[in-house]
Structure 1
Amino acid sequence: MCQRLDKPYYTDELDSAFLQCKKEHGYLSDDEVAKYGNEIIGFYFKNVNTLRQNKNKSFVDSEKDGFVHKTANSNTQNKKEQTIQRYSDIKGNNISSNQNEKLIVWSDQDKQNKQYAIEVVGYDPFEEYPEEGRKFLFNQLSPYLEDDSNADDAYKLSQILQIIKNNYQIDICDKKMSQLDPLKDAESIKTLSDIKNKLVQSNDKIAKENEISVKNRSNKDAGKSTLTYLMRDLREKDFDKAEADYYDQLRGVGSQWATDMSIKAIKENGIFDENDKKEIYEMQLDMIAALNKEVDELKEKIRILTLENDRLKAGVG
């Protein structure tokens, strides 16, 4: 790649990019970090384009230098073989990773959770995650969406997504710790445990501040009687006529009662000065005028349609 782009290739610079990426993903092993090829390459070219020692350097220049900066210390030079070895099997690792992803099977329920989540959120919130992670994330998100108050509150939903993503990181930490030896890898386990604890604390704080919880989490049938679940279930069964009619909702007895109570509460508890009253009065006049105009236009449409209907019934062109 560097040769095609005529950019310098320095193994010590590549190792520096690797360490930058490792810093971003401190809970991963070196082998796992090495799979983040795109990020490592991004750091590498950023360094190549910004550091003074790489200024005006070409691939040929780096080749003359033996692919190691002349100013690099002996310790860095000794890492040359280690760096080359580290990336020599990235291609193989990527192939293995892709094969593993192909083995991930999404059940009908998994697919349903994914489709509904994207529909509610409005986009794919886990697009950048690996396939295995996406399956975990969508299934974690699903119970929260059964609660109408969560699905209808954009900010609350964003906080739920953060909790879900934190849960994914916690799951990674747990899996990683399960593979470590408590005696040999005590330091790594401590680091992972600290990361996990911080994520758990963050989740607790977000949940408390936003009153987030999985409704009736102990009940497997929780949420199945809610409008959200029923609409979702009927939609999947192609019952198009089951969609909520907003006009009918507004005309409903319950909606009218809620509106009347709201207006009554405003009248009894609202404190308005003369300017407020004047502004409200003017707004009401504008709304009445607009509604009267709309009514007149609709009446005219009805009149025209009625005449056309009569002509059709009479058999007149």
Structure 2
Amino acid sequence: MAATPKKKVIKPISDEPKYLCPYCNREKKKADFYTSTDPLVLTGITCMCKLCAERIARNWSPASKTYIGETKASVQEALERLDKPYFDEVWNYSYHEAQSSNSKLTIWGSYIKQMHLSQYKGLRWRDGDIFDRYKIKAEQEMDFKNYITQTSPEDEEIKLAYETNRRDVLRMVGYDPFLNYPLESDKPVLYAQLVNFIDDETKEDGMKMNAVIQIVQAFNQIQKINDAINEMSADVMKITNNNGTIKQLADTTTKLLSGANALAKDNGISVNNNRSKSKGADTLTGKMRELEL
């Protein structure tokens, strides 16, 4: 009796695991995702797939089916969703690399390539420059809040004036023009100056109101520059070493004053500012003269 030939056992080919990208709602291979740097992510991959991240970073246009091009904001948005860090120095390098004639990389492609270098291994969004700025701002705001909650009579007076001026600005302007101002400690001065510069005519003129807000911010910048110049000029022995910096700061002050003056004249603020108030230091023109001293 002839031996029965053995049947070939065909082993089933195991399917490669697929992962769902919630942004395009498609299942994709692991290679279609970036490696996650979050140790708590058990899949080891990012939530967003590479294609969706590229479309955000490079501003994909569904209408024209083309990429409009990267901006800092679009790259930052993609990195935040991928939980990858943003660094200004990497952006600058990637931008120049993409612009070079012999490069085939996009800004996004160059940036992601840099993220594979050893110095960035394991870093997440919170380790980048953007998160640091948020942290610094939060610390400054906390310091200021701690400052204005002091209980001495003088501090209580400052706190009351700050809150009163802020409420007045909200009432007269209709919104908080300094809501996103980076330094919380500057806001008491900004609100106080703005309240002094707003008259009935300004309340009815949106363009004039915007101009006054810009001028108040310019005054604040000028005052900071003047403080810096005074500090560098205080030590006679160091004035020579600081001459170049002092000159640059003085030039900046001149430009800011010139811009504020032009903005005021264009909107009729210098001539017609709040006739019910004194024409002295509290007027815009008076304030400009004070800062020029």
Higher share of residues assigned helix: 1
TM-score, scaled relative to structure 2: 0.46
Larger Rg, first or second structure (1 or 2)? 1
TM-score, scaled relative to structure 1: 0.43
